[in-house]
Copies of this chain bind each other. A is one copy, B any other.
């Protein structure tokens, strides 16, 4: 998986970095679920990644500069994984994938609602979301979000998801 260089094609190179079964799912959980700790990524994963794979991918993603690994000051053993700018900019790829999957594959309603909002919001919403990620992951000072839809994108996505879940399981 590592140390490859099959060709200098940008698509191929991207696939060699994040083209395996798990890397983009881990990035997804960090972006949309705000999962920042090992056990959080391990246990809250929809798909059930195994711990050795998760450890290996996190290590690789750190080496590639897509995420960063820092100590959690609140606990001597805890570690915080953060997205780098490079990782944040994977969002448009995920958004396009989500849109395509929603159109052509049997997506579940509760997991498709975020994809729908992202698709409707378009690149402008992706940019706004990326700005928010820069605040939470890079510590960048918040720009004033002017003409946006009010609440942060992350909150809007989460609220929509919970609304669908509440509707489907009334009690």
List residues of chain A with CB under 8 Å of any chain B CB: 6-17, 19-21, 24-25, 28, 46-48, 65, 86, 89-90, 92-94, 96-108, 110-112, 115, 123
* Contact between chains at B6 and A98 (CB < 8 Å): no
CA A9 to CA B86, docked complex, whole Å: 23
Other-chain residue from B19, B105, B112, B123 in contact with A123 (beta carbon distance below 8 A): B123
CA A90 to CA B103, docked complex, whole Å: 11
Other-chain residue from B46, B89, B101 in contact with A14 (beta carbon distance below 8 A): B101
Question: Closest 3 CB pairs between A and B?
Answer: A8-B108, A10-B101, A14-B101
Other-chain residue from B14, B24, B107 in contact with A19 (beta carbon distance below 8 A): B24
Other-chain residue from B25, B96, B110 in contact with A96 (beta carbon distance below 8 A): B96
Q: Which residue of B lies closest to A97 (CB)?
A: B14
Interface of A is mostly: helix
Residues of chain B contacted by A12 (CB below 8 angstroms)? 25, 46-47, 101
CA A46 to CA B100, docked complex, whole Å: 26
Residues of chain B contacted by A20 (CB below 8 angstroms)? 19, 21
CA A93 to CA B7, docked complex, whole Å: 19
Residues of chain B contacted by A14 (CB below 8 angstroms)? 97-98, 100-101, 105
CA A7 to CA B115, docked complex, whole Å: 14
CA A98 to CA B99, docked complex, whole Å: 18
Residues of chain B contacted by A100 (CB below 8 angstroms)? 10, 14, 89-90, 92-93
